Structure 1
Amino acid sequence: MSVRRSIIVLSVVSLMLPAVFFAVRANYPQRASSPTENLQLYTVSRGDLETTVSAIGQIEPEQIADLSFRSTGRLLELNVALGDVVMQGQVLASLANEAQQLAVERAQLSLELAQLQKDQLLAGPDAAQIAAAEASVMSAQGAANAAANAISDADIQAAQLAYDAALQALTDAQTARSTAPGGQPQASYDLLDAQVGEASFNAEIARLQLEQLQNGSSPQVGAAYAQVDQAQAALDQLLAGPTDAQIAQADAQIAQAQVSLERAQRQLEQTQLTAPFDGIVTAIYVERGAMTAPGMPVITLIDTEPFHLSVQVDEIDIGEIAEAMSARIRIDAIPDLELQGTLDRIALVPQNINGIVNYDVEVMIMDSDSRVRTGMTAEAAFVTGFAADVLIVPSQYIRLDRAGQRAFVNLLLPDNTLQETEVQLGMQGRDVSEITAGLREGDVIAVDLSGDSFSMFGS
């Protein structure tokens, strides 16, 4: 519930008093003797005036969280105690996680290796690698030359004889097929045809082998020269640098290693309970060695920097306050403490309880004090108006007419008689009001303690 208030600070040479009521009373002389013995007097003076809307609520933390693990396991480490101040990201507790830690280390090494391989690829070959490739080319060329020089005249002569023999075998097979008498079973003719085909194949093979030797080549020589081509291609590629395909492959290996590392880290994180924000440990529910499960609270953490005050403001007063408005905060349990705050949020939807309509309001507490605790009752005073060095009169000396359009005071004249005088009101509060016309500084006004002269303010 909210309360409208006003505060006056009188500019008095001899004394400055903080409380409105006492500041007003300081201007009262002793009760006058007859004929003013039933009057209470006040000397009109100047001062600073502010009006406020006050509301009472409770101190609450900025954030509160019940922390739990995302996996089932046995609590291995508990790194905090009640009341400990922790930082965001700090590991508060851990489950048994040797396997998960090893998986992270392996994944990290794999990622570093993939990155190293790409770096080496982009850096190009060093002198040792180039020398090794050139040596491979020279070695292959030497082997090919040796294979080519290994063919002799005797090898060619032997190949010629083998070819001649294969041709003779083909001629004999063809003659046998062409002179075969008729009337024999078909299988006999098929056999003769097969013999002709085999002899023809063998003759062709012998011819090719003879040509290879005559041309200075053989299967061994061809293979040797293929090795030369392969070694030369490897050297050319080494000198040309990596291809786009090789770079893309290296990038893919890095990406795959990164995904593996992130997966391993997530699995490890599921075994660790970390602070989601800076705060204070207010509860611990599990002991070392106990089993935990997802959703099972382990630690409660609150964020007290800053605290905020949650209050409810009456619908009548809600229009007088606005977000970012400053507020003074006093805590019942710490009467000597006054904190500064800022109105942070006004609820869009009111609370209607038994016909009483209030709006939830949150006030950010800007100061800090180690004595402040969550749950303490506090009052916020929102400054809704301020006037400096104005004529001020306690509201109890003012009479309003029924329509509320005119205001009057009892002015004490020099002959100790009272004159009802109309005044113009400026800023109005519950305790004091500003006078804009009708009185001067130093005028003395009165109120009849018996209540016979006129009604009190607001009636």
Structure 2
Amino acid sequence: MKKKIVYIVIIAVIVLSVVAGVVGRNRTRLKKVDVYAVGLEDFRREVSSNGEIRSRESNRLISTVSGKVKSIHHEEGEYVLAGDVVVSLDTSDMELRRENLVSTLESTRIMVRKELLSLRSAYMQASTAYEQAERDYLRSEDLRKKEFASEVELQAKRDAFHIAYDNLTSAMQQLRFREGRDPEEGSPDSRTDDQIVEESSEVKQALLNLRSHESDMEDFIFRASIDGIITALPVEEGDVVSPGMLIASVHNSGALKVAANIDEVDLSYLSVGQDVKIESDSFIGTELKGRVSYIAPIIQKIGDSRVCSIEVDILENPGDVARIGASCSIFITVENRTERPAIPVESYFIEDDGKYVFLLEQDQYDDNRFLVKKQEIETGILGIETVEVTDGLSEGDFIISSDRAGIVEGDEVERSGDNDQS
């Protein structure tokens, strides 16, 4: 009987001890925390920037002369073809000068033709005189042999013959020179008189003066060099323009691009050929496809930032929703990672140049109680609300997701009943 009483007392003491321990633990007030179970997410690294839609092909008409605007042939916003005249300046004085040069050219042609005819006539006369002098000389030589002529008479005929020969040679050389041939050349000329006249140095010079003036007159006419839309026309009829002044701008609306600046920290992720998503307030609800076509070889400082200029070709423009001059945003996906450990952005903190979280070790007797451990982590791609963890945590680990105030390593904490994300 005594043994039975002893056993009952021992059991009672044990029960009371356990109950006292439980009550004691429950009486200890633990800080409640939000518990987050590390899960897996897909992450995408994206480089973005703001830019402006421009034409890949443009034509700025800049004046190189001074003058007054005579005619505006097309209005801003109109579509023009390459070669169309957009603006022309007054060329009244230059037209008068051109008429004078045309008249000079025709006069030169007439002068050369007359000179050619005159030299040919002189050559024919010299040839006739030479033939006559040759006959007289030969007859005199024959008479001298028969002693019917004196030596003085023979010498006179001989001298006349040599003079006639020299005159013929001179006339022939002048004619050949006028014809533009080598004076010593003996082959006949197969060219027509018109060809000879046009190839004369005088006519060539007169024609060159005319062509040069007509070329100068072209500077007073502003033509589109490409097919496109007139996007700027800052002059009106009667305006006076000067060298360097913008007359008009023409852009090819069928070939568009985005010009943007990328921060230097993102530059290493970019390469020509990458796909681009394009959005704009000017075509809300529509995304256009693009492709990186150019990355500038230099980095420039703009304000407090250092940026690099890039260009993105717009590959499609359904309904012509993209318009030159519109602002837009570009998004370039440069890296994709799947099923990576992820935690809320606000759950980690920086200390001594390191990144840390409070890792929770679950109590073996109570699933709602945890022991706090300070855990260093490495992060990767930043999402909208979460960040990739590349080292230090695994799927299923528990961490404190928020409200870390007053908590240190070694503390015991309790799971909050609200905002439980485990």
Contact 2:260 2:311 (8 Å CA) reproduced: no
Structure 1, unpaired ranges of 5+: 1-36, 118-133, 161-208, 242-249
- Residue in 1 that maps onto 2:378: 425
- TM-score (norm. length: structure 1): 0.52
Contact 1:61 1:306 (8 Å CA) reproduced: yes
* Structure 1 residue 92 displacement after superposition: 1.9
Alpha-carbon distance in 2 for matches of 1:210, 1:44: 140
- Residue in 2 that maps onto 1:186: none
* Structure 1 residue 454 displacement after superposition: 6.8
Contact 1:44 1:445 (8 Å CA) reproduced: no
- Residue in 2 that maps onto 1:20: none
Contact 1:58 1:311 (8 Å CA) reproduced: no
Residue type matched to 1:372 in 2? Answer: A
* Structure 1 residue 429 displacement after superposition: 1.7
1:363 maps to which of 292, 310, 319: 310
Alpha-carbon distance in 2 for matches of 1:145, 1:406: 121
Residue type matched to 1:238 in 2? Answer: G
1:350 maps to which of 291, 297, 301: 301
- Residue in 2 that maps onto 1:143: 132
Verify: 1:321 aligned to 2:267, yes or no: yes
Select between 339-348 and 263-272 the one with higher mean Cα deviation. Answer: 339-348
Residue type matched to 1:435 in 2? Answer: V
- Residue in 2 that maps onto 1:80: 74
Deviations 1:261-299 (A, max 9, x none): 5522332122211336665312334556x3543256543
Structure 2, unpaired ranges of 5+: 1-31, 113-122, 177-182, 190-198, 409-422
Contact 1:423 1:435 (8 Å CA) reproduced: no
Contact 1:411 1:419 (8 Å CA) reproduced: yes
* Count of residues in correspondence between the two structures: 329
Contact 2:281 2:327 (8 Å CA) reproduced: yes
* Structure 1 residue 401 displacement after superposition: 5.2
- Residue in 1 that maps onto 2:349: 400
Alpha-carbon distance in 1 for matches of 2:241, 2:101: 27
Residue type matched to 2:280 in 1? Answer: I
1:263 and 1:217, CA in 2 relative to 1: closer, same or farther beyond 3 A? same
1:213 maps to which of 150, 153, 173: 153
* Structure 1 residue 364 displacement after superposition: 1.0
Q: What SS class does the counterpart of residue 217 from structure 1 fall into?
A: helix
Contact 1:57 1:312 (8 Å CA) reproduced: no
Alpha-carbon distance in 1 for matches of 2:216, 2:187: 44
Deviations 1:12-48 (A, max 9, x none): xxxxxxxxxxxxxxxxxxxxxxxxx98575562253x
1:274 and 1:449, CA in 2 relative to 1: closer, same or farther beyond 3 A? same
* Structure 1 residue 394 displacement after superposition: 3.5
Alpha-carbon distance in 2 for matches of 1:214, 1:448: 137
1:264 maps to which of 198, 213, 228: 213
Deviations 1:61-107 (A, max 9, x none): 6768474472324514x332322344666532223547559949978
1:333 and 1:423, CA in 2 relative to 1: closer, same or farther beyond 3 A? farther
1:71 and 1:86, CA in 2 relative to 1: closer, same or farther beyond 3 A? same
Alignment of 1:36-435 (within 5 A): 39=34, 44-47=39-42, 49-59=43-53, 65=60, 67-68=62-63, 70-73=65-68, 75-76=70-71, 78-86=72-80, 90-97=84-91, 100=95, 103=98, 142-148=131-137, 211-215=151-155, 217=157, 221-227=161-167, 237-239=185-187, 256=205, 259-260=208-209, 263-275=212-224, 279-286=228-235, 290=238, 292-294=240-242, 298-302=247-251, 305-311=255-261, 313=263, 318-322=264-268, 324=271, 328-336=277-285, 337-340=287-290, 342=292, 344-345=295-296, 348-352=299-303, 357-367=304-314, 369=317, 370-381=320-331, 386-396=335-345, 398-400=347-349, 402-408=351-357, 415=367, 422=375, 424-429=377-382, 431=384, 432-435=386-389
Alpha-carbon distance in 1 for matches of 2:235, 2:309: 34
Contact 2:347 2:401 (8 Å CA) reproduced: no
Contact 2:70 2:90 (8 Å CA) reproduced: yes
Contact 1:61 1:302 (8 Å CA) reproduced: yes
Residue type matched to 2:213 in 1? Answer: A
* Structure 1 residue 60 displacement after superposition: 5.3
- Residue in 2 that maps onto 1:28: none
Alpha-carbon distance in 1 for matches of 2:100, 2:37: 83
Alpha-carbon distance in 2 for matches of 1:434, 1:451: 20
Contact 1:321 1:382 (8 Å CA) reproduced: no
Q: What SS class does the counterpart of residue 373 from structure 1 fall into?
A: coil
Contact 1:310 1:362 (8 Å CA) reproduced: yes
Alpha-carbon distance in 2 for matches of 1:340, 1:428: 24
Contact 1:148 1:217 (8 Å CA) reproduced: yes
Q: What SS class does the counterpart of residue 74 from structure 2 fall into?
A: coil
Alpha-carbon distance in 2 for matches of 1:297, 1:104: 30
Contact 2:40 2:340 (8 Å CA) reproduced: yes
1:345 and 1:219, CA in 2 relative to 1: closer, same or farther beyond 3 A? closer
Deviations 1:358-401 (A, max 9, x none): 23543312115332234433334455x63533513043374235
1:378 and 1:137, CA in 2 relative to 1: closer, same or farther beyond 3 A? same
Contact 1:41 1:447 (8 Å CA) reproduced: yes
Contact 1:104 1:261 (8 Å CA) reproduced: no
Contact 1:212 1:218 (8 Å CA) reproduced: no
Alpha-carbon distance in 1 for matches of 2:168, 2:208: 42
Alpha-carbon distance in 2 for matches of 1:381, 1:300: 29
Alpha-carbon distance in 1 for matches of 2:284, 2:231: 25
1:151 and 1:255, CA in 2 relative to 1: closer, same or farther beyond 3 A? closer
- TM-score (norm. length: structure 2): 0.55
* Structure 1 residue 147 displacement after superposition: 3.0
